[in-house]
Structure 1
Amino acid sequence: MPIRPAIIGNWKMNGSGKEVKLVSRFADFLDKHKIAADVMICPPATLIGRAGGAIKGSKLKIGAQNCHVAASGAYTGDVSASMLKDAGAKAVIVGHSERRAGYDETDKQVRQKAQAVIEQGLQSIICVGETRQQFNKGQTLQVVGRQLRGSIPSSATPQSTLIAYEPVWAIGSGRTPKPADILRTHAHLRKTLLKLHPKEGAKFKILYGGSVSAANASDILALENVNGALVGGASLSFKDFTTILRSV
């Protein structure tokens, strides 16, 4: 059975109350058009409740961009997976390269976060990706394989966990790897998943992220083992994001 694609918009630290209207427009679009994909927007934590409330009953889902490993406690400024669930989130991105680099998050911490997300009945979206230096040295497969093995919980299932390959050097740069490079990396991630989960490794969604745009989405989504996209800046544009959705 073919894997149903997923298109996920990551707004990062962008958006205010007025962007809730954009979420509503996306929801209306999905109600009016037959899009063969699961679609989600991950706004800043401050907008999760408002965005979710504005699209109740819609096909569009709301996710979060990060969480703490603990369910509660003395962690000033942090938010737990249970809190995000209470706010209306259906999934949580963990291990994004901006978190790994800016906050020194390790594979172990990412795995703990993913486990915390899964325990709340939410989907974990685990990100992996190499730096430009690692890419130039031909270390991509080694790096993403290690990250995946270290970041995915043993309890992960195709229903609870999505994998997103985001080459660090491509994010926000307007540059993307060559199709052959994406193809090779996704094939390696699939092979790794099959080793970790022999019975269900073929069923996990593997998304591509990193300067996904209205112009290149169709070509990227047509590649083998690319089961959707994690979209950054383009998900803040109604025209660009809906063009990507039509590309599925």
Structure 2
Amino acid sequence: MAIFLHVIGHNEHFRAVKGRFHHPTQMIHQCFHEVLTTMMCFAKEIIVPTTPNPTRHNSERHRRLKNIFSGAIGALDGTLVPVVVPIDQQTRYRGRGKGECFQNVIGICDSDMIFTFVWAGWEGIAHDSRVLNEVAFNSTSGFPFPPPSEILNLKTNGSLSFTVQRDIVIACVAFHNFIRKYNIEDELFRNFEEDTMVTPDVQGGGIDRENIQGIEWGPEAVEYMRALRDHIANRLLSPTLH
């Protein structure tokens, strides 16, 4: 486990890690992949829908969010995680500015800051709404549809294969949930509860045009994506899907 955490935490190659742990590269490779396989099983157990705990967190920020989003069971969003892929596949994972490659990750987090769903591995060029549409209505994804009465508000090691880089994201989410569920002391969680966490100021792209990761979306594209998001939200809350 120490080897695995060191590799993903410092983004180091196996050859660099062997000197620290005094093991041959082959053993470092074997230990890493054994832990990763185990983490994928652990993720299935710990990244699951939860029942909100009203007594877990009573910070002012938490109470304020609960008042604003009364009845909400979680929030869904997408993010981009750097990824290294073969040259012949880079076009699909690029496309969001500066020529870097990313995988698109979508996740759902409940009011206790615990992930209840995560889906990694989509091409970086894919729009979040497209990823959500495909994942939400994929019968094999395990997407947690909310009950009709509730509301759903809508850099990895380059020496590893894409599948491993994808699984590392899921493993990190599993670690996050473990820390949160078992109340392990964590500085970032403490700062959030005490409302002392500093978050970057994200500037919008204006009313008529939106700038997303270096790409400017015109009015027609913006309106199309808004309509698609509304369509997905309506389908998610449709009684026929439950």
TM range (shorter): under 0.3
Give the TM-score of the pair, scaled to structure 1: 0.27
Greater CA radius of gyration, 1 or 2? 2
Give the TM-score of the pair, scaled to structure 2: 0.27
